[in-house]
Each structure stands twice: as C-alpha cells, then as structure tokens.
C-alpha cells in the first residue's frame, strides 16, 4: 500500500538533503534530530549543509510543510522511518555505533508497528539484523514488531552538483519482501534507479566495497609519488597518459591524503567485520598505512623548504577535506597542522567555506614564511599568495605557476 508519512532521523549531510527531496514527493515528512539548537536554526531558515540552500529549506518547510522537530512523539504516525545518523570510528579504528544504537533505542519507544525501518547509515554487514533489529525489538516489550527492516546505504557526495537523490542509483536489501517493496517504491519516487539485492548484508557490504575501492586506489597512486620523483617524471602526467585508455582503467589522483566522512572511516568497518571472521585483508590495512605516511612526507618537505629552521609561520590554504565543502572531518590538514606545530612552527589557516577550525589560527594577513595548498584551495587564492611567498602545492593543480613548489615533482636539492 502507498506510504505517505515519512520520518528522517538525523539532519546532517545525508538526512537533510533526503528530507528536502522527500518533502517534494510525499504528503508528510518529519525531519528529526536530537540537536535542539540545530532544529531551531533550521526552523529559522538557516541551512548548515552547503548542498541545501536556505531557499530550498524554506520551500520544504513552508510550501511542502516539512516538520522539523527534536520531539520523538512527532514520529508516532510515520509509515517509513529512515535512519541517517553518523557512524564514525574511535581513535583505534573500531566502529562507533553509539549514534545508531541511541537512535534505535529512542525509535523503539514511539514508532508504529505499521512502520518500515530503513537504515542509510554506513556500517558492517549484519548491522541491520544484529544491531538495529535486535535492539529495536528488545526495547519494544510486548508491542508488535514493525513491518520490516531495510538496509539502503547512503550515496551522498557533498559538493557534487551532478549527482543527487534523483539520479544516483540506490541499493537496498531487507528482512522481508513487504518491507523491500515499500522501500523500493519510496526510493523510486525520488527518481533514482533502485537495485534490490538478496539480503541486507549484500547492501551493507556494497557500500564498504565502494569506499574501500577508493581507499585502495588512492593509496596506490600516492605510493607511486615517491617512485615517480626518483625516476624524474611527473606522476600526474603519467596518470593523464594512462587515462587515455577507454577501457580497463579508472583515474585516481594523488593528494595530501584521504579525508571526509567515508573513505577514512568505512574501510575500518570492513576490517572490523573481517577480523571477526578471521580474515586479515592485508591490502586494506596497507592502504591505511600508506595514506598515514603522506602527511609525514609533506611535513618533511616543508621543513626542507624552510631549511630545517623552527618557529616559522605557515599558512595552510584549504582545510576542508575537498573543494566545495565546509566539512573538515578527517581532513589531511589536521594531521599536517599537528605535525608542524610539534616541529615548533606557527600555523595559520584559510578556507572560504570553513568558519571554525580547531587547529592553528585563522589567517588575518599575518607575515607568512610558506603556504601549503591542500585539497580545498582555489586557483585565485594560490595566485594571490604566490606573489608574496613560496607555495607548496599538494594538489597537482598549481605546479606550473611561478613561485610554486610541487609535492609531486620537486626534490629537496631543487628548492634553493
């Protein structure tokens, strides 16, 4: 039967865009978040997600009557409940499912037995059955079970203007046919192609495969940087050449390291699950090790450029994990800033989209000895700064400019 009352749990980079998309298609959408301040800001028309404009937010609220709330009671009548909460890792790389289990425990108290529960939060295979279903039903006491559970891992790419809910294919797998059919209808109504797989575990595993694939390939090209410099070639020129092959090759570019909400996190969920099944996944472990070494190499290069002198002022341009986003989670800039501060340097930062950062001081035109260009820097920024001070390019985009040193091409003896 058609479902017209939708609940979205967690209004971050996944949940808020999904709420906006659903509000245009369904009669009632309830966007829930525990963060009362966030709900207050959203009700005031202030979006904290770059991919959702204030105008889009207001249209969903006023024209499509999307309800924004931190009150669980508002979810009692929803017929589809989509969980979109963070699933980070602890410092030791172990999965942190506290946001997910808290959400499930809360929802068990209020959701109707006519509801289908969909999990978009990334996790290891088995999470839907072993964590969500078991926790939900153990908290229900004598109340009836919901219709069913579906895994539908999110595929949001912040800052990507080409792909969104209406044209990004979705993968779903559920605990029974009825819940899968309802979830299929829900996602198809948003415009996306839907791939139904045989189990929730296949859907959950597919998300980990997608992002571990990226981790391994990014690590591979980053590992080749040192070798390419030793033989005197530019790794980006090599990649340009290989990319002319129209089959059997996918282009990945080296950079200052992995960052963001997926690639530095999701493969740890795969390692966690593999460990429980006595599998080592050596290649995945090595990929993390390769990427963790990049910040050390960059900092060594910085100190070489500064002739090993301490107490220098260094400006990091671009502290978000990639261009066109304000998200600094797991950004390579964090590790670089920490290492350089430990080397007794003074760190400043600049990023057009980031308003606050926990490392160094925001740049206010202080005298700088060196600039480091990272993933979210822009051509205009680097052009202006390179007129005043030497720039270390860790992106591969600015190396042809005057007064710019390439992390990918230059040797320590070429810096003078």
Extract the tokens encoding 287. Answer: 């990929």
Least Cα distance to 159 among 265, 259, 27 occurs for 259
Choosing from 81, 84, 115, 262, which is the catalytic residue? Answer: 262
Angle between helical axes of 235-242 and 200-230 (0-180°, round to 10): 130
DSSP 254: -
299 is catalytic: no
255-289 per-residue burial string, b: 16 or more CB within 10 A, e: under 16: bbbbbbbbbbbbbbbbbebbeeeeeeeeebeebbe
Environment class of 63 (CB within 10 Å of its CB; exposed 0-12, middle 13-18, buried 19+): exposed
Extract the tokens encoding 154. Answer: 């999110």
Cα separation, 120 vs 159, in Å, equals: 19
φ and ψ of 365, to 5 deg:
70, 25
Query: Are the C-beta atoms of 348 and 314 separated by less than 8 Å?
Result: yes
Tell me the catalytic residues.
Answer: 262
């Amino acid at each position: 039967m058609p479902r017209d009352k939708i609940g979205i749990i967690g209004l971050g980079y996944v949940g808020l865009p999904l709420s906006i998309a659903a509000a245009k298609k369904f009669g009632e959408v309830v966007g829930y978040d525990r963060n009362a301040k966030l709900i207050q800001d959203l009700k005031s028309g202030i979006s904290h997600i770059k991919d959702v404009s204030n105008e889009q937010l207001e249209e969903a609220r006023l024209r499509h009557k999307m309800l924004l709330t931190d009150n669980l009671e508002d979810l009692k009548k929803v017929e589809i409940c989509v969980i979109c909460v963070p699933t980070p890792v602890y410092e030791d790389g172990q999965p942190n499912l506290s946001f997910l289990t808290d959400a499930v425990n809360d929802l068990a108290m209020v959701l109707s037995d006519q509801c289908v529960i969909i999990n978009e939060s990334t996790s290891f295979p088995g999470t839907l059955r072993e964590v969500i279903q078991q926790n939900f039903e153990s908290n229900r006491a004598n109340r009836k079970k919901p219709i069913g559970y579906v895994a539908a891992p999110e595929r949001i790419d912040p800052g990507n203007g080409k792909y969104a809910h209406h044209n990004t294919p979705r993968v779903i797998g559920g605990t029974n046919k009825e819940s899968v059919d309802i979830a299929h209808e829900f996602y198809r109504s948003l415009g996306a192609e839907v791939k139904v797989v045989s189990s929730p575990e296949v859907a959950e595993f597919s998300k980990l495969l997608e992002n571990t694939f990226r981790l391994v390939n990014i690590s591979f090209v980053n590992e080749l940087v040192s070798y390419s410099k030793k033989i005197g070639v530019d790794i980006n020129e090599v990649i340009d050449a290989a990319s002319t092959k129209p089959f059997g090759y996918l282009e990945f570019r080296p950079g200052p390291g992995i960052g963001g909400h997926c690639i530095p996190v999701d493969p740890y969920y795969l390692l966690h699950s593999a460990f429980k099944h006595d599998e080592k996944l050596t290649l995945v472990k090595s990929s993390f090790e390769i990427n963790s070494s990049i910040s050390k190499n960059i900092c060594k290069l910085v100190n070489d450029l500064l002739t090993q002198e301490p107490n220098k002022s260094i400006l990091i341009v671009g502290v978000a994990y990639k261009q066109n986003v304000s998200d600094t989670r797991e950004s390579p800039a964090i590790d670089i800033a920490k290492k350089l501060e430990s080397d007794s340097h003074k760190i400043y930062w600049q990023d057009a989209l980031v308003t606050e950062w926990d490392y160094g001081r925001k740049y206010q035109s202080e005298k700088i000895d060196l600039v480091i260009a990272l993933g979210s820097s822009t051509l205009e920024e680097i052009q202006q700064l390179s007129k005043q001070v030497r720039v270390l390019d860790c992106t591969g985009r600015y190396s042809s400019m005057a007064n710019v040193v390439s992390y990918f091409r230059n040797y320590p003896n070429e810096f003078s």
